[in-house]
A and B are shown apart, each in its own frame.
Chain A
């Protein structure tokens, strides 16, 4: 990260608790603009919660999330949906809903009582479907699609929202290897072409290292470390964050760090 424009999102001492349990403990983190940030960490470390807190799906106990100089707490639900798109971990829609119907819902935050569907919405709808390669499926019901296709359609919906920030919560869960790569390549392409700031939660450390500009390790509701994958993928850190003895090598194809887990420690 050479140039340092203002971060897209600043998280400032965010603390969040469910009844009887603190899930995020004074988390502070900057999400760089136009980059892909990947949140990784062991189960229950709070990475998905942090993602949802950025989108204000949880109310913090204290601390705040700022988009430049606006706090997400001060935005209306629709205004927030014009800034941040979020793809849930296990999104669900009726099986008989068509691809186009679902992608259209991405335009919901841009419509008001007075302003109904217009040419701007049509343009965004078509661009989102074209960008994710689902245009030819537009009239198919979701129930007739494969898992990989469905995930593309959901990404298209988030894309149609035309938000500068896109959050994806474990988007490659339940996808086979080919579709995992497909999906993440698509995310990277959208990041590169449209300059969207992307925040991803990923379980697979090697995928995280391969696609992240900024990698964030979380543990026990806090940020354990953040930086480039090269900075973070060290034997030492991985032992500390994941309790795994691992060997770090450089992947011969892409030159990114690769973690070979050896045993738990």
Chain B
């Protein structure tokens, strides 16, 4: 413990974040280069900059780049939501996946698809409203968890149980909607539930980006106010953090971030749990660096997961959500077990 340690970490954060940015960019480029046919990185760059031949342009711009871009946005958005939730609940097990946020969002989307499609399975309204439906569902999900858990929400494991219960109800309702809904919607909803970044088009990416960027800015602004949230409720309030107000604000921002992230790619689990943990390990307690780090790591994880399914299972399209779940679920179990020992 040298006296220079905090200063060192503080100055290291920008460097670490730069390294993470570069790593994510490299992975994203590889994500575009890899696939059923290999396109060299320089060709990828050429296409993105406006040159390149027609076939390569089509593959890069219409097939591969969209899924990489949406993976960055969705992975990053969910990670930031997870970071905020873990901070405000002081609970390292909190994440959009276990607090009913994602399942609530899924229910919102499935109801939206079922209710607003006509007989020929075309949406009677604009696709722009799909993220809003997800937001409504996600907000209802997390609100239900916290209203039901009430004063028990301070206990990590109790909160989790309520989250799982609410999530189960939402999942069951989604299942019912799928079974009674039109066939085409069923396949779309099934894909949504597993979480996949393929088949996302540029319009959907634009909608996601337009909604996500202001929310990320808001998350940064909120996070700057949050340092006292590391303390217990009374201490946090007595140094002037208006916790009852901030808690609602953070839940709303996290629910909206999650909903927008998953609106088109579906329920991708565990990124929102793992990325903030890793970010904290790397950049420490700083709120702003934590948000940026979470975003980068979440983006990295989802782009990576998608790359893995494409390389391993090509030409079958396996949803990227399966990879994050295969890695995330055991990690979650590990956390749960060590937490259990802690709580006694």
Contact = CB atoms under 8 A, between A and B. Distances in A.
Given A139-B5, A140-B1, A106 B232 contact: no
A179 interface: no
Given A139-B5, A139-B6, A140-B1, A97 B230 contact: yes
A93 B238 contact: no
Contact of B228 (A86, A105, A138, A140): A105
A85 B238 contact: yes
A73 B227 CA distance: 24
Contacts of B237: 57, 77
- Could you say which of B2, B5, B228, B240 has the most chain A C-beta atoms within 10 Å of its C-beta? B240
A109 B227 CA distance: 12
Nearest to A85: B238
A174 interface: no
Given A139-B1, A139-B5, A88 B234 contact: yes
User: How many of chain B's residues touch chain A, expressed as a range?
Assistant: 10 to 19
A94 B230 contact: yes
B61 interface: no
A153 to B, nearest CB: 12
Interface string A64-107: 00000000000011101110111111111110111011000110
Contacts of B50: none
Given A52-B234, A105-B227, A81 B3 contact: no
B321 to A, nearest CB: 31
Interface string A38-54: 00000000000000100
A257 to B, nearest CB: 32
Contact of B238 (A76, A88, A96, A140): A88
A197 interface: no
B2 to A, nearest CB: 7
Contacts of B234: 52, 57, 86, 88-89, 91
A52 B3 CA distance: 36
B42 to A, nearest CB: 44
B285 A101 contact: yes
Contacts of A92: 231-232, 235
B297 to A, nearest CB: 19
B16 interface: no
- Could you say which of B235, B237, B239 has the most chain A C-beta atoms within 10 Å of its C-beta? B239
A90 B232 contact: yes
A226 interface: no
A152 interface: no
Given A86-B234, A101-B6, A108 B227 contact: yes
A78 B240 contact: yes
A151 interface: no
A154 B3 CA distance: 20
Contacts of A93: 230-232, 235
Contacts of A80: 240
A80 B240 CA distance: 7
A81 B240 contact: yes
A91 B231 contact: yes
A219 interface: no
A37 B61 CA distance: 72
A86 B241 CA distance: 13
Interface string B1-21: 111011000000000000000
A55 interface: yes
Nearest to B243: A77
A86 B236 CA distance: 10
A238 to B, nearest CB: 30
Interface in B212-252: 227-228, 230-232, 234-235, 237-242
A57 B238 contact: yes
A91 B3 contact: no
A168 B232 CA distance: 15
Given A138-B3, A139-B6, A81 B238 contact: yes
A10 interface: no
Contacts of A106: 239
A110 to B, nearest CB: 9
Ranked nearest first, the 7 interchain pairs of A and B with the lowest CB-CB distance are A81-B240, A109-B240, A88-B234, A86-B238, A78-B240, A77-B242, A92-B232
20 contacts: A52-B234, A57-B237, A57-B238, A77-B237, A77-B241, A77-B242, A81-B240, A82-B240, A86-B234, A87-B235, A88-B234, A89-B234, A92-B235, A94-B285, A96-B285, A98-B6, A101-B6, A106-B239, A108-B239, A139-B3
